[in-house]
Amino acid sequence: MQLYAVHISDGLLEPEWLIGGFAVLAIGLGLSLLRIDERDIPRIGVLTAAFFVASQMHYKLAFVSVHLLLNGLAGIIVRKRAALVIAVGLAMQKMLFDHGGWTTLGINFCVLAVPAWLAGICFFKCRSWAKPGFWLGLILGLLCATLTVLMHVSVLYLGGKGDWTALALTSLAAHVPVIALEGIGVGFAVKVLAKGKPEWLGISN
């Protein structure tokens, strides 16, 4: 069995976890579509494309294939609308490359969207006293990626139909360099946007 990053495949989890995942997916999409502004659409489109493309740049370790996540960056830029980015990106990855599963779409969404929302909230709270730049992006990128991987591993361990301990531990080890790259990437992205497109971060020069 091949595990693609944090995409959990069909048939691995207990039904109650799948139902809970779809409940959070429905709530997240509902909130993200509420009072959506046309100014948000270009950012959502760009981030969805980046989220999708990132999944095609991966490396393999044993039966785990990992790639950049970019959910932290989505949360920082579009905050609650990161739900749209992640939901559409996951659906496209399943349809075109069979990453993940349809029954696990909800739980895969939770694993990526919850840390993204928290990254967005933290950035919004921190920008009033911490200059939005590389270091703030680095810290939030590292924390978001770490939480995503820990949630992914916890779901496999706690909600699996079988004993997926070995799979969970392998996935955790394989994602260590991904977490580091996520932090650096988000740090540089925030630094560039703060100078060139501050409105994308909700700040002004």
pLDDT value for 203: 78
Q: Report domain extents, the chain.
A: 3-201
Tens of pLDDT, residue by residue, the chain (205 residues): 456 567 888 888 999 999 999 999 999 999 999 888 888 899 999 999 999 888 777 766 656 677 889 999 999 999 999 999 999 999 998 998 888 889 999 999 999 999 999 999 999 999 878 788 999 999 999 999 999 999 999 998 899 888 878 878 888 888 888 899 999 999 999 999 999 999 899 876 5
Q: pLDDT of 109-123, one tens digit each? A: 999 999 999 999 999
User: What pTM value is reported for the model?
Assistant: 0.90
Measured between alpha carbons, how far is 44 from 84 in angstroms, rounded to an integer? 7
Question: Which CATH code of 3.40.50.1460, 1.10.1760.20, 3.30.360.10, 3.40.710.10 fits the domain covering 3-201?
Answer: 1.10.1760.20
pLDDT given at position 161:
86
Res 39: pLDDT: 82
